[in-house]
Structure 1
Amino acid sequence: MEQYLIVDGYNIIGAWPELSKLKDTDLEGARDKLIHMLAEYQSFSGMKVYLVFDAYMVPGLGKSYVHSKLVVLYTKEKETADERIERLVTNLMGRRKEIFVATSDMIEQHVIFGKGALRLPAKELLTKIKLSRKEVREQIKTEHTKRRNPFEGSLNEDQKAKLERMRRGE
């Protein structure tokens, strides 16, 4: 089953304490940090992630680009992030597809739920990202330990002792 995650960018930035604090002084930095976090999460989770930023008051046709396989979308003039998310859910819906929308906007959660998508509150997404980072660190640590001594599990005690004596020049 294909899984998709659609993220309401500014809603998430406002809901996560670290990003909310950063946005007060560096909105672009908060956006970049969110993009980086979601790109990492996408590569770990295997979900296809779309990040939607509201450009409602910005003239233009909107834009989209791909950053580390993460699709970043800016709405067009007079289009809200909610409208873009709803349209994206409608376009992605299909058999063998599971769509999650990350937002803490209760009205938007009800609308996307009515369209068949599953809601993912901002706090829950942050927890999932933190858990995935922890799992990645543990996997790296395990791989590093295996590489340090590839014979660790395959030698008996006599063989290990003999190799250790040889290492010490005895």
Structure 2
Amino acid sequence: MNVLIVDGYNMIGAWPELQKLKDKDLAQARDLLIEMLAEYQAYKGDRVIVVFDAYHVRGLDSKQKNFKIEVIFTKENETADERIEKLSGELNDVRTQVYVATSDYAEQRTIFARGAFRKSARELYIEVKNIQLEIKKDVELHKSVQNQPKIPINKEIREIFEQWRRGRK
């Protein structure tokens, strides 16, 4: 099983649409990041944990589950980097491969030492965008495939039946 641990504010500072949004509304930027990672998680099936730094916020230490994403706000006097380092060490074992998404160079060196792999903010962004394109293609393909009736029926009659089925005539 793969686990992706994401440095939330690092992604917000690096992804173009989140950068623009954070200046107006940081909470909305966090929510959008979580939604994007939820699509990623649903497509890949990996466990995804997003860590947000609450270092300057008094008394906050929470763990939430949004979609199938685990969202962690660090406790007072704990940085996101510290929590990520701890998680990467705890979760990395023979059956689990841990990836940490961060562009923080010092953090990357630390997670390498704990046996985890890294994904830069740019790499994860490209991967998320590619998955969004794949999902869009799958939806368009699904829409384009029309159910063919087992009994061949003229198109006009099929449309009349469809209107009846929907209660329009």
Q: Do the structures match in fold with TM over 0.5?
A: yes
Compute the displacement of 1:65 (Å).
0.6
Structure 1 residue ranges (4+ consecutive) displaced by more than 3 angstroms after TM superposition:
166-169
1:48-76 CA-partner distances (Å, limit 9, x unpaired): 00000000011115101100110000000
148, 151, 157: which is aligned to 1:150? 148
**Against the structure 1 CA distance between its residues 167 and 37, is the aligned structure 2 distance closer, same or farther, given a 3 Å change threshold?**
closer
Cα distance in structure 2, aligned partners of 1:45 and 1:82: 25
1:18-167 map, 5 Å: 18-146=17-145, 148-150=146-148, 163=152, 166-167=154-155
Q: Conserved in 1, the CA contact under 8 Å of 2:81 and 2:107?
A: yes
Residue identity opposite 1:127 in structure 2 = I
Counterpart for residue 161 of structure 2: none
Please give the root-mean-square deviation of Cα atoms over the aligned residues, in Å: 1.7
**Against the structure 1 CA distance between its residues 150 and 79, is the aligned structure 2 distance closer, same or farther, given a 3 Å change threshold?**
same
Residue identity opposite 2:46 in structure 1 = M
Cα distance in structure 2, aligned partners of 1:35 and 1:168: 46
Compute the displacement of 1:91 (Å).
1.1
Q: Conserved in 1, the CA contact under 8 Å of 2:56 and 2:76?
A: yes
Compute the displacement of 1:39 (Å).
1.0
Cα distance in structure 2, aligned partners of 1:167 and 1:17: 47
Q: Conserved in 1, the CA contact under 8 Å of 2:54 and 2:60?
A: no
1:11-56 CA-partner distances (Å, limit 9, x unpaired): 1100111111111111111111101111111111111000000000
Residue identity opposite 2:127 in structure 1 = K
1:16 equivalenced with 2:52 (yes/no): no
Residue identity opposite 2:93 in structure 1 = G
Could you state the TM-score of these two structures normalised by the residue count of structure 2?
Answer: 0.87
Structure 2: gaps spanning 5 or more residues: 158-169
**Against the structure 1 CA distance between its residues 149 and 92, is the aligned structure 2 distance closer, same or farther, given a 3 Å change threshold?**
same
Local SS of the residue matching 2:24: coil
Cα distance in structure 2, aligned partners of 1:86 and 1:41: 22
Local SS of the residue matching 1:24: helix
Cα distance in structure 2, aligned partners of 1:117 and 1:150: 50
Cα distance in structure 2, aligned partners of 1:168 and 1:107: 67
